[in-house]
């Protein structure tokens, strides 16, 4: 799986997270994540709800192959991680998503 480590000054600094994009938000300050570059019908995608401080988040899980992911041209530096790496310090949202798709 691809993951990245949150940088200094970001929410949950130092934790590891799956590639994450904003599909929809009404908060103009929610800029930590890039916007998904195309229209996406989310109704049929698996849903995981999480919350951070004042935010109630709906996380949709979209699985894709490496070629499709690379076409999104994210500016993040992702690296391959194995799920059993305890030192990875995965975020709660990542752990919930991995359990939802039965990878954990």
Instruction: Give every CB contact of residue 5 below 8 A, 6+ residues apart in sequence.
Output: 14, 15, 16, 17
Chain segment 33-90, per-residue pLDDT in tens: 788 877 778 888 999 998 877 788 888 998 888 788 878 766 777 877 777 655 568 8
String of DSSP letters for 32-55: SSPBPSS----TTS-EEEEEETTE
Phi/psi at 4 (nearest 5 deg)? -140, 155
Residue 5 has what pLDDT? 85
Q: What is the pLDDT of residue 87?
A: 57
Asked if the model's pLDDT at residue 92 lies above 70, the reply is yes
Q: Which residue, among 65, 56, 64, has the nearest Cα to 93 in the 3D structure?
A: 56
Number of CB atoms found within 10 A of residue 66's CB: 9
Residue among 90, 92, 36 at smallest CA distance from 64: 36
Can you read off the two tokens belonging to residue 98?
Answer: 């991995």
């Amino acid at each position: 799986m691809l993951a990245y480590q949150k940088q200094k000054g970001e929410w949950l600094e130092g934790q590891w997270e799956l590639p994450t994009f904003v599909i929809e938000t009404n908060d103009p300050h929610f800029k930590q994540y890039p916007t998904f570059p195309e229209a996406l019908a989310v109704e049929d995608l698996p849903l995981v709800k999480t919350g951070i401080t004042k935010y109630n988040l709906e996380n949709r899980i979209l699985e894709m192959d490496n070629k499709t992911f690379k076409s999104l041209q994210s500016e993040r530096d992702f690296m391959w991680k194995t799920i059993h790496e305890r030192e990875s310090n995965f975020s709660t949202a990542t752990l919930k998503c991995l359990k939802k798709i039965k990878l954990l």
